[in-house]
Structure 1
Amino acid sequence: MTYAGLTVAYWTVLVVALLPLGCAWLAKSGAVSKPRREGGYDNHLPREWLARQSGWRARANAAQANCFEAMPFYIGAVIIAHQHSVFQTRLDLLCFVYVVLRLMYILFYVADMATLRSAVWALAFAANIALLFI
């Protein structure tokens, strides 16, 4: 199945590429409107500002880093699966599952649900490996 010339699996690559941006937005949300002198977001030194954060903001930033770390393997697996002309519906479904698991991972990370976060991370990693073998 294709939309605008791309398979669902390729569309999920775009979604996965946007996930870190969503995490960054979450980490900075509510702080952008506050003045820097009151602890608000510092666009002049964004990495330093994020490094000083704690709690859910720090976890959202860590989720952002993990999204960037996981992205190359996922993109590679999707491309390899397409090159091998796998059954497209199965590939699309597995990619959709991966995206849902990554969204759950972000939710559990920000909510400080470490055990669930790790379990979902492992499932998403397994789904990514499965992409190589379908």
Structure 2
Amino acid sequence: MSTQLAHFTVAYWCVLVAVLLPIGCAMLAKRGGFSMKRDNHDPRQWLTKQTGWRARANAAQANSYESLPFFIGAVIIAHQLGAAQTPLDMLALAYVLIRLLYIVMYVGDLPTARSMIWGAGFLVNVGILFLGYR
């Protein structure tokens, strides 16, 4: 079993963290205003009625889900192409940190910074994708 853990790279752990980020956004959007008894019958309807930071947290959730396929695909492709592990791990960690910052900027209503950070995340994904290119 210990040899199995050795094959689960930092980049793969970053995929797991990236998958959890939108769930964190949903929890943030619902924090303090969502009732499991009253609102859980139709939570999406409840979310559409939100404004301000709750609406932005929900939008960050949606964008986080939208960004996952490219990140997951880039990490898998880089592994399959035999990319050097340390740079791959570093770029994957950078992506997760950039996405965390993106969420903070989104919820904090800083649209210009948010867009620049989104662009940085996109470029990191491109870097991951081509890391194993020869």
TM-score by length of 2: 0.91
Q: CA deviation at 1:35?
A: 7.2
Amino acid at match of 2:33: A
How is 1:1-134 mapped onto 2 (pairs within 5 angstroms)?
A: 4-5=5-6, 6-32=8-34, 36=38, 42-134=39-131
Amino acid at match of 2:109: D
Q: CA deviation at 1:61?
A: 0.2
Partners in 2 of 1:67 and 1:47 — Cα distance? 17
Structure 2 unaligned spans of 5+: none
Q: CA deviation at 1:133?
A: 1.2
Q: CA deviation at 1:132?
A: 1.2
Partners in 2 of 1:44 and 1:35 — Cα distance? 8
Which structure shows the higher helix fraction? Answer: 2
TM-score by length of 1: 0.91
Structure 1 unaligned spans of 5+: 37-41
Amino acid at match of 1:58: A
Q: CA deviation at 1:103?
A: 0.2
Q: Aligned residue pairs: how many?
A: 128
Identity between Structure 1 and Structure 2 (%): 59
Backbone CA RMSD of aligned residues: 1.7
C-alpha distance after superposition, 1:21-79 (max 9, x if no partner): 0000000001135974xxxxx10010000000000000000000000000011100000
